[in-house]
Amino acid sequence: TSLLYAACAPKVSAIDRNALLSMARDRLAAASALVKTQEQSYTVSPARIGGWRANPTSYAYGYLWTVSSLYYWWRDLGRAERGSTEAAHSPCYLNTQYPADVGLGTSIPILSRDLSSRIREALRHVPGVRVTLADCFAPPPTEYEFPRDLYKYGAA
């Protein structure tokens, strides 16, 4: 992350910024190779503990998904690259949580994941709201795939 902080410093030149972001992507590629190697030593299928799937938590994925996908690395790189309005400004860029479930639990039917997801999709078509609010309601219906999705959801 120090490369990303340096790339986003107020007085960094465009040439230095691009070089730092390129180095960050190189390190991310190396980390991805390391994760794939480590996953081979798991005693269960990586998809079982690191996949994007329904479960009884407030997350839409298994507990090692953020590691398997390098989610936090990709999210931070997306913010640093500012490749979409959402990446640059949305407080919920690449959201992975259902905030209603986190804050209130899953026992309140009106705040179900289905309703949260429907609100998210409806707001994505409202100009101005899409960037700042829509992604706060729920993660996308399908798993993020990086680098493909760094700016995909912002393009809708």
- Average of per-residue pLDDT across 96-106: 72
Q: What is the pLDDT of residues 4-26, one digit of tens each?
A: 999 999 999 999 999 999 999 99
Higher pLDDT among residues 119 and 80, named by residue: 80
User: What pLDDT, on a 0 to 100 scale, did the predictor assign at position 156?
Assistant: 42
pTM attached to this predicted model: 0.82
Q: Output the 3-class SS for the chain.
A: CHHHHHHCCCCCCHHHHHHHHHHHHHHHHHHHHHHHHHHCCCCCCHHHHHCCCCCCCCECCCCCHHHHCCHHHHHHHHHHHCCCHHHHHCCCCCCCECHHHHHHCCCCHHHCHHHHHHHHHHHCCCCCHHHHCHHHCCCCCCCCCCCCCCCCCCCC
The Cα 38–Cα 36 span in angstroms is 5
